Chain A
């Protein structure tokens, strides 16, 4: 199975900050990666698919980049509603695998 290594595991940031989260795949996965936001008691929400394509309805402050093994999720200006845990998910092959998550907390 492809392993997804996400970093950092947590970070503290202030409203308005630029935040960057990275995900590294153990094998090349083209651009077959999505980013999801999870909040307690709610289903994960798709933010980015195919590494860099913004899902409809998601604010443009979210962006994704990367291909092969290295991927990045960037939040350009952190908003109060963005404090959550973020996960990458590779859909290159089965079994699909998630990163361990990055918890974004208020500084």
Chain B
């Protein structure tokens, strides 16, 4: 069965960086794009960007350009999200999600359990 298992909660100080991992299993890792979505307390979800595990190409939301890096390791079926220059507004639960393509469009059909990142001095 498809599983996406994320790394554990993090507490960081403003200005620091955080790296969250998401290990995939139960399917062919390189066949599905992967996305990162975050949800701040009391807010709706926010799409951060995507990575193609096959070629490593990425597409980031403009809000995160320059502060976010998405990478993958095909030897361990793992993707990573690194966010730098953290500020209090980055406190959120970060989710990875698998994309499945359909005849028209795509969807995120499997999600990780979420990783809480708290930014506090």
Q: Which A residues lie at the B interface, using CB under 8 A?
A: 1, 30-34, 36, 38, 43-46, 49-50, 53, 55, 85, 87, 89, 91-92, 94-101
| Pairwise interchain contact A46-B107, C-beta atoms closer than 8 A | yes
CA distance A53 to B101 in the complex (A): 13
Residue total for B at the interface (Cβ-Cβ under 8 A):
27
Q: Which B residues lie at the A interface, using CB under 8 A?
A: 35, 37, 39, 44-47, 49-50, 59, 61-62, 95, 97, 99, 102-109, 111-114
| Pairwise interchain contact B50-A98, C-beta atoms closer than 8 A | no
20 residue pairs bridging A and B, Cβ less than 8 Å apart: A1-B62, A33-B105, A34-B107, A38-B45, A43-B95, A43-B97, A43-B111, A46-B109, A49-B109, A50-B103, A50-B105, A87-B44, A94-B61, A95-B62, A96-B35, A96-B47, A98-B44, A98-B45, A98-B46, A100-B44
> B60 to nearest A CB, angstroms?
8
Q: A44-B95, A50-B104, A96-B35 are in contact. Are A55 and B44 (CB under 8 A)?
A: no
